[in-house]
Amino acid sequence: MAAIIFDFDGTLGDTLRGILATSQETLRRMGFPPADEAALVATIGLPLRFNFTRGAGLSEEEADQAVILYRAIFDEVAVPLIDGFPGVEETLSTLYERGIPMAVASSRGQRSLEMLMHQLGYDRYIPTERCFGVESVARSKPAPDMVYLILAKLGVKPEETLVVGDTTFDIEMGRNAGCHTCAVTYGNQSADTLAGAYPDYMIDDLRKLI
């Protein structure tokens, strides 16, 4: 592979506890009952507003307000709960030393994506200018737009690029762009669910990518 594109949440960063805690605290502050956690988890990988429409049953207008509040309290509530997965730094370091260009395609907002990449030390291997948040494109995952943007930035072809992610949205994004795909099963979706998106590869530890 000439380049590798990673998802962030559930692939590089173990953000699940932080996302759930911030979502529930947002609902609490807005006067709504707690949401079913399985429903919230099912929306991870999509833009944040789906967390509140599909996950918590809020109206479009209520979800817009929830997104604003969520982002306002994210640093306070979520960041202390976020860490990297085992083997991620080792993998990124090895790929970096081998000279393989890497990028991040995330449904997370650009500011928090860059902040978390820095907090976890991953920006030593994938610079900020190769980290793309939800604002980067008009159509979010599973549309291929973000991958197309990254391919143009890196100057590589789809058939020589690997897209790595923990949700069907990531795998479908990569497939829709004509890339090879690799699903990781330690993130937010099960191996059975991921298999339904027909990834080329499935691994349970990012070090197996090497």
Closest among 168, 7, 20 to 82, alpha carbons compared? 20
Active site residue 205: no
| Active-site residue identified among 7, 14, 145, 170 | 7
Annotation says 7 is catalytic:
yes
User: Is the distance from CB of 199 to CB of 182 less than 8 angstroms?
Assistant: yes
Residue in 111, 47, 140, 18 with CA at minimum distance from that of residue 26? 18
Question: For 100, left (φ over 0), alpha (ψ -120 to 50), or beta?
Answer: beta
DSSP 208: G
Spot the catalytic one: 9, 145, 166, 170.
9
Distance CA 129, CA 46 (A): 22
Catalytic amino acids?
7, 9
